[in-house]
């Protein structure tokens, strides 16, 4: 297995990314090669500072970087030799089995759509963000790849989320819910009502409409929505988790007694921080494209990169794209004529 990694697109520099790659190689022996794509001088200096002795790294030099400020499609057109584009080409040409990038999310989606195209039977790819619930995790899909969508697209998200939950997260029979403004079938808009009808016909454990307050209840494994709603939910959850940890820190440092309580509660506080830390997930897969693509956060730590590599290896090992193609073909055959376009 070969994995291409765009090490230049993140906010923290390539050394943090490479450190995570070195940790992942110690665990993932099935990786034959990690192709580090970026500035050769910076990469070599980082490997030297990290005292690298790993022989499974291959440096692929590029002279450009797609920055967070670049407009995705325009940036890719102007910067044909950027690290993201070159890494994506490695997957396109079969020289790599997967790509990971902590760079411009829109750029990753655009590059994958342009260079890899979507899988047979899938019209729109979706970002599958993994979030913590009360005692486990759930998938939010789509978390921002497409701000608009048709009922058929959301039906495909349900299929892809089910497969990812089973094959990568190890959930035997995932519960799938459709984000709406009420649990009754009559609630929602035209998009959610038609999506509900299509998803009820799938051979999945689809439980129907769910509301925002159901997200963290442990009853859900996959939450289906369009990219606009999904991205708002994702960003709100990320910010709320950060704010609440800040509130907790402020309260525990406000006087001698809270400080003593904090000292006695260190183990519980570390456990809480770990549960809400997105680095423990690592990245979000872009499902529905003809390749394995993982999008890491721009500020991803070495731990996040490590986990992104491990999840990517699982996705490649389980050949989830073949499973998606087969399941989508079966579902598309049952679509009414007016829902096929």
Residue 86 CB contacts under 8 Å (≥ 6 apart), including other chains: 37, 60, 62
Report, as an integer, the average pLDDT of 15-23. Answer: 93
Report, as an integer, the average pLDDT of 13-21. Answer: 92
Give the range with max mean pLDDT: 62-76, 107-121, 126-140, 297-311: 107-121
Indicate if the pLDDT at residue 127 is higher than 90: yes
Q: What is the pLDDT of residue 208?
A: 94
Q: Give the relative orientation of helices 256-264 and 266-276 as an angle to the nearest 10 degrees.
A: 70
CA distances from 189 to 6, 156, 275 (A): 40, 19, 34
Cβ neighbours, 10 Å, residue 225: 26
What dihedral angle (degrees, nearest 10) is formed by the CA atoms of 242, 14, 139, 315? Answer: -160
3-class SS at 102? coil
Contacts by residues 267-273 (CB-CB < 8 Å, ≥ 24 positions apart): 273/245
Q: What is the pLDDT of residue 155?
A: 96
Q: What is the pLDDT of residue 303?
A: 92
Higher pLDDT, 277 or 141: 141
Q: What is the pLDDT of residue 252?
A: 81
pLDDT digit string, tens, across residues 55-65: 889 999 999 99
Which of 184, 186, 159 lies closest to 326, judged by CA?
A: 159
pLDDT bucket at 210, cuts 50 / 70 / 90: very high
Report, as an integer, the average pLDDT of 210-237. Answer: 91
Q: What is the pLDDT of residue 339?
A: 67
Domain ranges of the chain: 1-122+288-319, 129-278
Second-level CATH architecture of 129-278: 3-Layer(aba) Sandwich (3.40)
**What radius of gyration do the chain's Cα atoms show?**
21
Kindly state the helix (H) or strand (E) to which residue 79 belongs, with its residue range. Answer: none
Please state, in angstroms and rounded to a whole number, the distance separating the CA atoms of residues 118 and 107: 16
- The model carries a pTM of 0.89
Q: What is the pLDDT of residue 340?
A: 65
Beta strands in the chain (DSSP E): 2-6, 33-38, 57-61, 98-101, 126-132, 137-141, 176-179, 206-210, 222-224, 283-287, 292-296
Q: How far is CA 83 from the centre of its chain?
A: 19
pLDDT digit string, tens, across residues 252-279: 888 888 788 877 777 777 777 777 677 7
Higher pLDDT, 320 or 269: 320
Report, as an integer, the average pLDDT of 183-211. Answer: 92
H helix runs in 183-265, sequence order: 190-200, 227-252, 256-264
H helix runs in 136-226, sequence order: 151-167, 190-200
Indicate if the pLDDT at residue 129 is higher than 70: yes
pLDDT bucket at 286, cuts 50 / 70 / 90: very high
Please state, in angstroms and rounded to a whole number, the distance separating the CA atoms of residues 72 and 8: 15
Which of 132, 48, 122 lies closest to 287, judged by CA?
A: 122
Indicate if the pLDDT at residue 341 is higher than 70: no
Do the beta carbons of residue 163 and residue 288 sit within 8 Å?
A: no
Report, as an integer, the average pLDDT of 22-35. Answer: 92
HSE of 222 in the Cβ direction (CA atoms, 13 Å)?
Answer: 34
Q: What is the pLDDT of residue 229?
A: 93
Contacts by residues 169-172 (CB-CB < 8 Å, ≥ 24 positions apart): 169/130, 169/137, 169/139, 169/221, 171/221
Q: Please tell me the CATH code under which domain 1-122+288-319 is placed.
A: 3.40.718.10
Do the beta carbons of residue 84 and residue 55 sit within 8 Å?
A: no
Q: What is the pLDDT of residue 95?
A: 96
Please state, in angstroms and rounded to a whole number, the distance separating the CA atoms of residues 205 and 12: 41
């Amino acid at each position: 297995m070969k994995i291409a990694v765009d090490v230049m697109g993140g906010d923290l520099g390539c050394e943090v990314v490479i450190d995570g790659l070195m940790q992942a190689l110690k665990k993932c022996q099935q990786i034959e090669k990690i192709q580090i794509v970026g500035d050769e001088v910076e990469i070599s200096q980082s490997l030297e500072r990290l005292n690298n002795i790993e022989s499974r790294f291959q440096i692929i030099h590029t002279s450009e970087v797609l920055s967070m400020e670049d407009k995705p499609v325009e940036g890719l057109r102007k910067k044909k030799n950027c690290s993201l584009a070159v890494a994506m080409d490695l997957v396109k040409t079969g020289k790599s089995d997967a790509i990971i990038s902590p760079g411009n999310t829109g750029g990753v989606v655009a590059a994958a759509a342009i260079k890899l195209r979507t899988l047979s039977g899938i019209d729109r790819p979706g970002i599958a963000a993994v979030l913590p619930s009360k005692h486990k995790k759930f998938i939010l899909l789509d978390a921002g790849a497409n701000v608009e969508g048709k009922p058929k697209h959301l039906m495909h998200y349900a299929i892809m989320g089910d497969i990812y939950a089973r094959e990568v997260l190890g959930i035997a029979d995932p519960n799938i819910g459709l984000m709406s403004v009420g649990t009754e079938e009559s609630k929602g808009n035209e998009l959610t009502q038609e999506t509900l009808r299509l998803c009820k016909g799938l051979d999945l454990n689809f439980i129907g409409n769910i509301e925002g307050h159901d997200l963290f209840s442990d009853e859900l494994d996959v939450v289906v929505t369009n990219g606009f709603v999904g991205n708002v939910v994702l960003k709100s959850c990320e910010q709320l988790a950060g704010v609440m940890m800040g509130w907790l820190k402020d309260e525990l440092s406000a006087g001698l007694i809270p400080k003593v309580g904090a000292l006695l509660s260190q183990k519980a506080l570390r456990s809480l921080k770990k549960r809400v830390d997105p680095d423990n997930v690592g990245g979000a897969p872009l499902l529905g494209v003809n390749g394995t693509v993982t999008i890491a956060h721009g500020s991803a730590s070495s731990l996040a990169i490590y986990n992104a590599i491990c999840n990517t290896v699982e996705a490649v090992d389980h050949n989830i794209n073949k499973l998606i193609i087969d399941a989508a073909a079966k579902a598309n055959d049952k679509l009414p004529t007016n829902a096929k376009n």
